[in-house]
Amino acid sequence: MLMRTDPFRELDQITQRLLGGAAPGTWSRPAPMPLDAYRSGDHLVVAFDLPGVAPDAIDMDVERNVLTVKAERRPLDLAEDAQVQVAERPLGVFSRQLFLGDALDTDRIEASYDNGVLTVRIPVAEQAKPRKVAVSTSGRKAIDA
């Protein structure tokens, strides 16, 4: 049996249940997933934390410049005689929507999943990349006085 060292853990769990949170070990309502987003060269990179989620339980789509990521953390496959001592990890569907600007090329999005992190790379659209503009002269010559 595991010993609990935090005397306030049970109070936190009771408070969570009273305020609408799910009981430990049960399916929870959809929750957002933490993310980091940054620009690297000609890409916007978004990293979602999805620990304990199987790769086949991740669903990602783009519609009208809205990127939607859904992931489902399923219960552990326990033996019939297993007795759960502590179950604090939330189960269920986690979701997040990001509104992407027109400056991104949503047709060329790439995604990879490694060590519980879903990394999404979105290229910057060609028309949004900085470019040099040539400056021409009017062709008039200055008059020397």
Cα 69–Cα 44–Cα 73 angle in degrees, nearest 5: 25
* pLDDT tens profile 73-94: 888 888 889 888 887 777 888 8
- Specify the pLDDT at position 14: 65
Across the range 106-131, mean pLDDT stands at 89
* 97, 75 Cβ separation under 8 angstroms: no
The residue behind tokens 């090329």 is 105
- Specify the pLDDT at position 6: 53
Give, in order, the Cα–Cα distances in Å from 71 to each of 9, 12, 25.
Answer: 27, 26, 17
* pLDDT tens profile 120-142: 999 988 776 677 888 888 776 66
- Specify the pLDDT at position 52: 87
Q: Is the pLDDT of residue 119 over 60?
A: yes
- Specify the pLDDT at position 1: 36
pTM tops 0.85, yes or no = no
Going from N- to C-terminal start, the domains of the chain cover 22-78+87-127
Q: Could you name the CATH architecture of 22-78+87-127?
A: Sandwich (2.60)
